[in-house]
């Protein structure tokens, strides 16, 4: 469908997320001349989500959030933004969507960018806890920050030792809170990184005054006038003025599932982000998509993936077929540490850890499956990140003996 043939066409987008919003502007750049409408149940203007566990704690109101695009750009690019408008149904036969207010919108192309929502575990008493928040919106972050700043030494319990939990712990500690992190597994970041990185971040938080505890399965929460008490199944308990729940997410696939689209660990899409319906595409956190490099389907929760899939889907809809072929990358900021991750370490057989001789705050972990480099985690080490990304993309075979030798500096030809 070339741009010249789209003047009378309508593309609807469900979700004003990173994926949905970037897609709308990418679609215009690809030459779509017809109508573009974005619908989202949230009434807040589309904004960046990564600062939720960092900068937004210091904001005083939601008007200070970092917008994804300036408001005037929506006018310039003729993108209609319908906020506070929840979509309740997709009818793929009639090519319509139904809104909560009963109105019906027709489409020629539909893009689902519904993302995910926080998973709230079934913990006894969790619904009665005081000052308990997930961390998915700017409103959550701002309310947490305002509460912490009311007095020093507020007691915070964070349930979950993933990246969100650890970033939140670092940010709230800086604001003066007394922070305890309770992780159910035997190490933090157990599902996403090697023990070497888990140990590094465990030590980092300990050095910064955060009490980080593993093998802590929370079973109940009680509250009274003095705040909350969090109970674990090992009979320990922890007092909390505020609780942050960061144990994972639940993918928003309900609309797609009701519409009869293929669901498998998310909305299943091909390399162009198309679902099993020719007129419906899906992008971002909610998708289970094919990664060409790793030769398997994956679901990623990252801004990079959302933006990349948005571009791919926009090109495909306008007849400029390109396929998703990106190496995933992620980042995390904690205290004075910048962690950059590239690749997917799933299935690794060997880990090589480097601590640079000239800077012991700079380190990297390299994940291998036999001779193939799968992923690199780089701490305060942009050279390792950049070089690792290049090696992964090109499937360059690396001399592991040289890589282990920290007397050899990280340079393009150092490990060949």
User: Which of 277, 227, 272 shows the shortest CA–CA distance to 255?
Assistant: 277
DSSP secondary structure letters along 67-93: BSS-HHHHHHTTEEEEET--EEEEETT
What's the rounded mean pLDDT across residues 156-168? Answer: 96
β-strand pairing of 10-14 with 35-40: parallel
Query: Which pLDDT score, from 0 to 100, does residue 151 have?
Result: 82
Contacts of 215 by beta carbon, 8 Å cutoff, 6+ apart: 183, 184, 185, 186, 234
CA–CA distance, 265 with 209 (Å, rounded to integer): 37
pTM: 0.93
Q: Is the pLDDT of residue 2 over 70?
A: no
Q: How confident is the model at residue 61 (pLDDT cuts 50, 70, 90)?
A: low
DSSP code at position 51: G
User: Which of 122, 168, 161, 127 shows the shortest CA–CA distance to 144?
Assistant: 168
CA–CA distance, 144 with 132 (Å, rounded to integer): 9
Asked which of 99-108, 140-149, 170-179 is least confident by mean pLDDT, the reply is 140-149
Higher pLDDT, 371 or 321: 371
Listed in order, the ranges of the chain carrying CATH 3.30.390.30 are 336-404
Q: How many helices (H) and strands (E) does the chain have?
A: 9, 26
Query: In this structure, are residues 112 and 279 in contact, taking their beta carbons and an 8 Å threshold?
Result: no
Query: Which pLDDT score, from 0 to 100, does residue 36 have?
Result: 98
CA–CA distance, 140 with 149 (Å, rounded to integer): 14
Q: How confident is the model at residue 25 (pLDDT cuts 50, 70, 90)?
A: very high
Q: How confident is the model at residue 138 (pLDDT cuts 50, 70, 90)?
A: confident
Higher pLDDT, 53 or 18: 18
User: Which of 53, 348, 70, 117 shows the shortest CA–CA distance to 365?
Assistant: 348
- Give the SS3 label for residue 48: coil
Instruction: Centre a 10 Å sphere on the Cβ of residue 381 and count the other Cβ atoms it contains.
Output: 24
Query: Which pLDDT score, from 0 to 100, does residue 1 have?
Result: 61
DSSP code at position 259: T
Q: Is the pLDDT of residue 368 over 60?
A: yes
Query: In this structure, are residues 198 and 234 in contact, taking their beta carbons and an 8 Å threshold?
Result: no
As a whole-number percent, the residues of the chain with pLDDT over 70 amount to: 97
Q: Is the pLDDT of residue 267 over 80?
A: yes
CA–CA distance, 2 with 26 (Å, rounded to integer): 14
Q: Is the pLDDT of residue 323 over 90?
A: no
* Residue-averaged pLDDT of the chain: 94
Contacts of 376 by beta carbon, 8 Å cutoff, 6+ apart: 341, 342, 343, 364, 365, 366, 367, 384, 385, 388, 389, 392
- Residue the block writes with tokens 């961390």: 135
What's the rounded mean pLDDT across residues 376-403? Answer: 96
Give the CA distances from residue 14 to residues 181, 274, 299, in Å, rounded to whole numbers and listed in that order.
35, 15, 19
CA–CA distance, 404 with 399 (Å, rounded to integer): 9
Helix, strand, coil distribution of the chain in percent, nearest 5: 25, 30, 45
What's the rounded mean pLDDT across residues 357-382? Answer: 94
Query: In this structure, are residues 263 and 280 in contact, taking their beta carbons and an 8 Å threshold?
Result: no
Listed in order, the ranges of the chain carrying CATH 3.50.50.60 are 3-117+250-317, 126-247
Q: What is the dihedral of CA 410, 386, 207, 188, to 10 degrees?
A: -120
- Give the SS3 label for residue 410: coil
CA–CA distance, 26 with 12 (Å, rounded to integer): 14
Name the β-bridge partners of 230: 221, 238
- Give the SS3 label for residue 415: coil
Query: Which pLDDT score, from 0 to 100, does residue 64 have?
Result: 66
Q: Is the pLDDT of residue 51 over 80?
A: no
Q: In this structure, which topology does domain 336-404 adopt according to CATH?
A: Enolase-like; domain 1 (3.30.390)
Q: In this structure, which topology does domain 3-117+250-317 adopt according to CATH?
A: FAD/NAD(P)-binding domain (3.50.50)
The first and second tokens of residue 59, run together, are: 């904001």
Query: Which pLDDT score, from 0 to 100, does residue 60 have?
Result: 60
CA–CA distance, 106 with 10 (Å, rounded to integer): 8
Render pLDDT for 394-407 as a digit per residue (tens, 0 to 9): 999 999 999 999 99
Q: Is the pLDDT of residue 266 over 80?
A: yes
CATH of segment(s) 126-247: 3.50.50.60
Q: How confident is the model at residue 152 (pLDDT cuts 50, 70, 90)?
A: confident
């Amino acid at each position: 469908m070339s741009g010249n043939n789209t003047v009378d066409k309508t593309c609807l987008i469900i979700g004003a997320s990173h994926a949905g919003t970037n897609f709308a502007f990418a679609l215009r750049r690809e030459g779509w001349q017809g109508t573009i409408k974005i619908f989202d149940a949230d009434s807040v203007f589309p904004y960046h989500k990564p600062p939720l566990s960092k900068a937004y704690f210091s904001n005083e109101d939601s008007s200070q959030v970092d917008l994804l695009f300036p408001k005037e750009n929506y006018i310039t690019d003729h993108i209609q933004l319908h906020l506070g408008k929840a979509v309740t149904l997709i009818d793929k036969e009639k090519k319509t969507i139904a809104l909560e207010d009963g109105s019906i919108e027709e489409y020629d192309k539909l893009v689902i960018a519904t993302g995910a929502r926080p998973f709230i575990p079934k913990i006894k008493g969790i619904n009665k806890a005081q000052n308990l928040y997930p961390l998915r919106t700017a409103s959550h972050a701002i309310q947490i920050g305002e509460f912490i700043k009311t007095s020093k030494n507020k007691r915070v319990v964070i349930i979950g030792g993933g990246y969100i939990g650890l970033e939140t712990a670092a940010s709230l500690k800086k604001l003066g809170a007394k922070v305890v992190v309770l992780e159910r597994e035997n190490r933090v970041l157990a599902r996403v990184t090697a023990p070497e990185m888990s140990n590094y971040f465990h030590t980092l938080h300990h050095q910064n005054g955060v009490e980080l505890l593993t093998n802590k399965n929370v079973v109940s929460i009680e509250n009274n006038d003095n705040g909350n008490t969090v109970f674990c199944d090992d009979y320990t308990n922890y007092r909390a003025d505020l609780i942050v729940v960061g144990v994972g997410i639940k993918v928003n696939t309900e609309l797609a599932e009701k519409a009869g689209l293929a669901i498998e660990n998310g909305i299943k899409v091909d390399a162009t982000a198309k679902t099993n319906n020719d007129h419906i595409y899906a992008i971002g956190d909610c998708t289970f998509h094919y990664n060409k490099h790793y030769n398997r389907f994956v679901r990623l929760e990252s801004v990079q993936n959302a933006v990349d899939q948005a571009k791919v889907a926009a090109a495909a809809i306008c007849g400029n077929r390109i396929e998703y072929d990106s190496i995933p990358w992620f980042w995390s900021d904690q205290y004075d540490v910048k962690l950059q991750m590239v690749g997917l370490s799933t299935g690794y057989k060997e880990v090589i850890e480097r601590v640079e001789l000239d800077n012991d705050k700079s380190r990297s972990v390299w994940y291998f499956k036999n001779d193939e480099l799968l992923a690199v985690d780089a701490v305060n080490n942009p050279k390792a990140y950049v070089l690792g990304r290049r090696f992964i993309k090109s499937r360059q075979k690396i001399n592991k003996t040289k890589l282990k030798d920290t007397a050899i500096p990280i340079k393009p030809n150092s490990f060949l």
